Structures are given as structure tokens and as C-alpha cells.
């Protein structure tokens, strides 16, 4: 998922990912606590210093509409291997480079149920979240409307209504089952990414007219690009 580019953008108070609640006994460790102890503490606001957890990652190509892979239903991850963890690290760097606030593995051509998210404000420290086999186990009756965009459908933005709060279940990087209660922008983002895992794009939640218009636009662009190649 991405948001409309705006250098002066600041998240409004009601759009922040507030109340990310986990039980104390099962709360996931922060990403910073999983870093090796010997790494020096780096300032998140100094652009000249590379973030230590990006050192060995690679930027992958994000596939775009109308690639049919985007409509595939992703398969569950059966075993968390070093290759799966490396893939998630690549997803994170790819998301940051795009830039975006969420990315599903299928968006880089790997239909596995993997999601990375970071909805931290631009001026704050990064807060990457990793979800393996995420599933929504509860949604609120109250709806919230956010303007959404997608890294696989660049420069297209529209408002989508989704449940204001969701509760999800997933595996962390260590294979432990976790639960998380999300609201605000985080709830919107995680629902957007889980849609990707089920072969659903955010434009599928718009009116048929709007959806078909976007699909036609990208189909024409792909045809021109193929003809020019």
C-alpha cells in the first residue's frame, strides 16, 4: 500500500496506528531488540547513515497491473526458512525504496502469504512489522474511510471504506503465533495487504466503472510498452 506523495504531509491524529494491542505474554519483540547487540545505535533522522537492518537486503521489482500474478491467491508458508526471512527483508527494503507503507510478497511475484508494513510517520523512527500467514479473526462494525494507493497500481488513489478496527493472527519471524489489535491507518494497511494475499486489489472495492477505467488504462500502457520493446 502507498499514500499520495506529499512532502508536507503529516499524519492526522485520527490516522495514526494507535492502540496496537498485544497481550503482554505474547507481545512481539520490537525489530530493534532483534538486532545484534554489537551494532551501534544510529540516528533515524540522519539520512547519511545507512540503517543496519538494510545492509544485506535487495530491492526487488514490483509487478504492476495488469500482471495476472496479482490475482493469484497466495499459498501459506509451511516452514520459516532462512530464505523466507531473506525474502521478507528484501520486501522491506523494496517497500521503503518505492516508497510505500505496506507490501505483500505476491507484489514482487512470490505468491506466499507474507506481508511487511511500516506506517510510522515520516519524521519518526522506522517501525517495521513482519507478518507470516496473517489472517483477520475479527472486524469492527464501525467503518473508516481512507484514501488508498497501491505500489502495483502507481499514481492511482481513491477512497475505500473498511472496518475501522481489526484483530489479526499471524506468525512472527521466529514462527511463534501472535495476535494484534489494529486501528487507524494500520488497520487499513493490513486489510489492504491481506487483500493482496487473496488476489484482491483495492480497485476491486471501487465502483465497477472506476475499476474498469483503471484496468483499461494500465492494459493500454502495457500494450504500448510491449510494442515499443
Condensed to tens digits (0 to 9), the pLDDT of residues 183-218 reads 999 999 999 999 999 999 999 999 999 999 999 999
Query: What distance in Å separates the CA atoms of residue 95 and residue 55, rounded to the nearest whole number?
Result: 15
Is-catalytic flag, 193?
yes
pLDDT for the residue 148: 98
Catalytic residue of the set 93, 148, 165, 193: 193
Condensed to tens digits (0 to 9), the pLDDT of residues 37-64 reads 443 443 333 333 444 444 567 999 999 9
0.85 exceeded by pTM: no
Query: What distance in Å separates the CA atoms of residue 30 and residue 138, rounded to the nearest whole number?
Result: 24
Residues 6+ apart with CB under 8 A from 13: none
Q: With contact defined as beta carbons under 8 Å apart, do 180 and 167 qualify? A: yes
E strands, the chain, where? 102-104, 114-117, 129-139, 143-150, 153-163, 165-171, 177-183
- Omega cis (within 30) before 188: no
Cα 112 to the chain's mean position, in Å?
Answer: 14
Alpha helices in 1-157 (DSSP H): 82-97
Query: What distance in Å separates the CA atoms of residue 126 and residue 130, rounded to the nearest whole number?
Result: 13
Condensed to tens digits (0 to 9), the pLDDT of residues 81-138 reads 999 999 999 999 999 999 999 999 999 999 999 999 999 987 789 999 999 999 999 9
Q: To 10 degrees, the CA torsion angle through 30, 3, 62, 178? A: 30
Closest CA to 70 of 210, 176, 198: 198
Amino acid at each position: 500500500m502507498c499514500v499520495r506523495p506529499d512532502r508536507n504531509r503529516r499524519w492526522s491524529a485520527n490516522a495514526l496506528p494507535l492502540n496496537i494491542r498485544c497481550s503482554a505474554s505474547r507481545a512481539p519483540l520490537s525489530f530493534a531488540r532483534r538486532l545484534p547487540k554489537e551494532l551501534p545505535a544510529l540516528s533515524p533522522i540522519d539520512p547519511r547513515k545507512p540503517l543496519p537492518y538494510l545492509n544485506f537486503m535487495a530491492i526487488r521489482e514490483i509487478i504492476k497491473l495488469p500482471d495476472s500474478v496479482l490475482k493469484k491467491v497466495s499459498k501459506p508458508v509451511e516452514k520459516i526458512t532462512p530464505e523466507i526471512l531473506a525474502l521478507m527483508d528484501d520486501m522491506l527494503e523494496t517497500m521503503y525504496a518505492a516508497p510505500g507503507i505496506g507490501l505483500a510478497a505476491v507484489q514482487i511475484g512470490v505468491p506466499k502469504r507474507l506481508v511487511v508494513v511500516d506506517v510510522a510517520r515520516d519524521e519518526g523512527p522506522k517501525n517495521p512489522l513482519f507478518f507470516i500467514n496473517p489472517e483477520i479473526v475479527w472486524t469492527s462494525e464501525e467503518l473508516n474511510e481512507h484514501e488508498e494507493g497501491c505500489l502495483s497500481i502507481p499514481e492511482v488513489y481513491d477512497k475505500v471504506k473498511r472496518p475501522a478496527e481489526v484483530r489479526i493472527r499471524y506468525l512472527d519471524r521466529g514462527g511463534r503465533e501472535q495476535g494484534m489489535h489494529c486501528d487507524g491507518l494500520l488497520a487499513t494497511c493490513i486489510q489492504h495487504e491481506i487483500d493482496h494475499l487473496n488476489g484482491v486489489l483495492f480497485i476491486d472495492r471501487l465502483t465497477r466503472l472506476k475499476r474498469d477505467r483503471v484496468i483499461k488504462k494500465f492494459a493500454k500502457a502495457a500494450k504500448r510498452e510491449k510494442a515499443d520493446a
